[in-house]
A and B are shown apart, each in its own frame.
Chain A
Amino acid sequence: MLAAMVDMMINILLFLLQLYGNSAITIQPNPDLELARSAAREQVRWAVSVVVSRNAVRIADNDVGAFPAQNRAPNEQEYQRLVDVLRVQRSAAQARARDGVAPKEVVVQADKRLSWDVLGPVMRASSDAGFENVRFVVAVTGGDAD
């Protein structure tokens, strides 16, 4: 009797391991982070991660600012902190890279309801820190974007 159960559990385990292995970055369901929908199909690749939820900006698990809570642009100090943390993360990623080349891309998970007042400066800060490209994580739709 137990053998059948073990078979079933091992199948579930393999399915979950495969699911786990496919994701380059972790996207946790969060009511403050509702991703925009898109018909894009490009798989998310690993890069320095910036999460801009409705409450805060997190860069590689560091809380960097709470200005999204007021849906406003960062002030000068907050902006400088964004640039500094991004520079540190870029250096760390460069040190980890096998070829020693600094990364040029950052992956941004942003809430779709946030205004460009918040996200524009985050993009500008990424550029100031040396990241030329920004890749936005989106939720995949069946066809046309909603």
Chain B
Amino acid sequence: MRRRARLSVDTPEVNLVPLLDMVSLLIQMLLVSAQFGAFAELESQVAGPGTPEDAERLGLEVRVVATGYLVSWTVDGERTERSLACLDEGCTHWPGPGLTALAQDLKGRHPSERQVVIDPDPGVPFEGVVAAMDAVRSAGKAPLFPDLVVAP
């Protein structure tokens, strides 16, 4: 009896090499343009002529000076001012926590107020301005004075 020869059937394989080439090229391109840091934005309004006078009754204003912050606000029609000095000699650590504590106190007494005017002196570094904005806009998740008006 003759035996029938078995047919060997090769399973066809998809050629993955071109796909791998393409995917690795795409990965390289995306890695070059990817940004891994986390970024956010701080919104502010540019103070126009007369904007500080438009501030509501409290009229909270933070001047950023070379030595720290000068905070002023209105109580019974009169301006009150408080100075918050930097936490070190060269002013690399801005008194943000002190400013937040003061803002919390003022917010507690004037819960409807939302606006603060930030007025930086010409020579101060930008990080001091951002630290002031950060300190007065919120304390953790609780908003304090989120409407930031910056005097250019």
**Contact partners of A41 in chain B: CB under 8 A:** 40
**Contact partners of A40 in chain B: CB under 8 A:** 40-42, 134, 137
Q: For the complex, is A76 an interface residue (Cβ under 8 Å from B)? A: no
Count how many chain A residues have C-beta atoms less than 8 Å from C-beta atoms of the other chain: 58
A123 close to B150 (CB less than 8 A): yes
Q: For the complex, is A16 an interface residue (Cβ under 8 Å from B)? A: yes
Number of A-B contacts (CB under 8 A): 159
B23 close to A20 (CB less than 8 A): no
A132 close to B134 (CB less than 8 A): no
Taken together as a complex, chains A and B put the C-alpha atoms of A120 and B44 apart, in Å, by 13
Q: For the complex, is B122 an interface residue (Cβ under 8 Å from A)? A: yes
> When each residue 85-96 of chain B gets 1 if its CB lies under 8 Å from chain A and 0 otherwise, what string results?
000000000001
Question: Which residue of chain B has the shortest Cβ distance to A44 in the bound complex?
Answer: B41
Taken together as a complex, chains A and B put the C-alpha atoms of A38 and B100 apart, in Å, by 13
A42 close to B41 (CB less than 8 A): yes
Taken together as a complex, chains A and B put the C-alpha atoms of A72 and B108 apart, in Å, by 40
B126 close to A140 (CB less than 8 A): no
Among the stretches A22-30, A58-66, A83-91, A95-103, the one at the interface with B is A22-30
Among the stretches B2-10, B31-39, B53-61, B75-83, the one at the interface with A is B31-39
A113 to chain B, nearest CB (A): 6
Taken together as a complex, chains A and B put the C-alpha atoms of A114 and B24 apart, in Å, by 40
Q: For the complex, is B48 an interface residue (Cβ under 8 Å from A)? A: yes
Among B23, B36, B123, B135, max chain A CB count under 10 A is at B23
**Contact partners of B48 in chain A: CB under 8 A:** 127
Among B24, B36, B41, B125, max chain A CB count under 10 A is at B41
Q: For the complex, is B121 an interface residue (Cβ under 8 Å from A)? A: yes
**Contact partners of A9 in chain B: CB under 8 A:** 20, 23-24, 27
Taken together as a complex, chains A and B put the C-alpha atoms of A137 and B35 apart, in Å, by 14
Q: For the complex, is A75 an interface residue (Cβ under 8 Å from B)? A: no
Taken together as a complex, chains A and B put the C-alpha atoms of A17 and B23 apart, in Å, by 12
Top 6 nearest A-B pairs by Cβ distance?
A123-B152, A112-B127, A36-B130, A16-B30, A124-B152, A140-B38
Residues of A within 8 A of B (CB): 2-3, 5-6, 9-10, 12-13, 16-17, 19-20, 23, 26-29, 35-45, 73, 105, 107, 110-117, 119-121, 123-124, 126-127, 131-140, 144-145
